[in-house]
Structure 1
Amino acid sequence: MDKPGWQPPAWAFPAVWTPLYASIAWSAGHAVSRADGRRRRALMIGFGANLALNASWTWLFFGRRSPTAGVWGTVLLDASNLQLVRQVWRGDPKAAAALAPYAGWCLFATALSASLARRN
């Protein structure tokens, strides 16, 4: 596979994802614990859907061996991140701010996936 020169080394991905998943977990726990009723349910659905989209990228990109499918997966994940940050912000700005690095890394992943799709 032809990779762009700006792609991080392989070891960087687990080094980045570990704290990102921790911040997602903290944000979810913080936001959900401060919500109730419909809002709590909506947050749980939002976080669940977002993590399902996150997990689907691996299958789209590696399982299907399709950088193009990976791009579409990251675009959907970016849209979900935007919606999730907005949803969380309404009730818990600190928890929403904790999602910012995750959303930023996913935007980077979209650019990287697009570059890989174009090159391959």
Structure 2
Amino acid sequence: MATTADRFSTEAQEPKPRRKWWKIALVAVPAIVAVGSAIGYLSNSGFANDWYAPLEKPSFQPPSWAFPVTWTTLYTFMGIAVALILAGPRSRQRTLALTLFFAQLALNFAWSPTFFGAGYIDWALLIILAMNVIVTATIIAAWPLNRVAALLLVPYLPWLCLATALNHETGRLNPGADRAPLGLTGE
């Protein structure tokens, strides 16, 4: 017969149950979508922006409706991915994946105010290039923790590559439009 001390000893050795990822996602998804949308709105992102509207656009520019649809989908995937990672057991790998995830998210949230809000095409290009690297590193770091989380971030990469090309080409096609040129895209 087990004594009370044996029971406490056994309970202390059992790992804590994993948090339910979907409970975390119920907070993470709306938070990421809301913050991303608010930043886009506050920085006047898109075709109605007085600085951006008259600029020549690259020939491969998607239609305006594609941007909010795509970003809402990608932010939803990001929220689920981070929830899956957060629900896992604590480890150095988890800390690395979360650090990378939040670093890329901070850069993501900085891009619209830099490009649309400030009109800094070259600075925005540096931000989005860093995002490409950090998102790739996040996927690699998340893979051993939760493959579904890593795979949910994969669609983000081709969209970032397209956005990077759009950012660069907008600068190239509109010399003199950059309000703080670094000489990366235009004159």
**Structure 1 residue 81 displacement after superposition:** 0.6
**Structure 1 residue 43 displacement after superposition:** 2.7
Q: In the alignment, is residue 14 of structure 1 matched against residue 33 of structure 2?
A: no
Q: How high is the TM-score relative to the length of structure 2?
A: 0.61
Q: In the alignment, is residue 62 of structure 1 matched against residue 125 of structure 2?
A: no
Question: Where does the alignment leave 5 or more consecutive residues of structure 1 unmatched?
Answer: none
Equivalent residues of 1:23, 1:98 under 8 A apart? yes
Equivalent residues of 1:68, 1:117 under 8 A apart? yes
Larger Rg: 2
User: 1: CA distance between counterparts of 2:119 and 2:149?
Assistant: 35
Q: In the alignment, is residue 45 of structure 1 matched against residue 91 of structure 2?
A: no
Q: How high is the TM-score relative to the length of structure 1?
A: 0.92
Equivalent residues of 2:122, 2:171 under 8 A apart? yes
2:77 corresponds to which of 4, 20, 23: 23
The size of the alignment, in residue pairs, is 120
**Structure 1 residue 115 displacement after superposition:** 0.7
Higher relative contact order (CA 8 A, sep 6+): 1
1:1-120 alignment, distance < 5 Å = 1-120=55-174
Q: Which range moved further: 23-32 or 40-49?
A: 40-49
Give the alignment's Cα RMSD to 1 decimal: 1.3
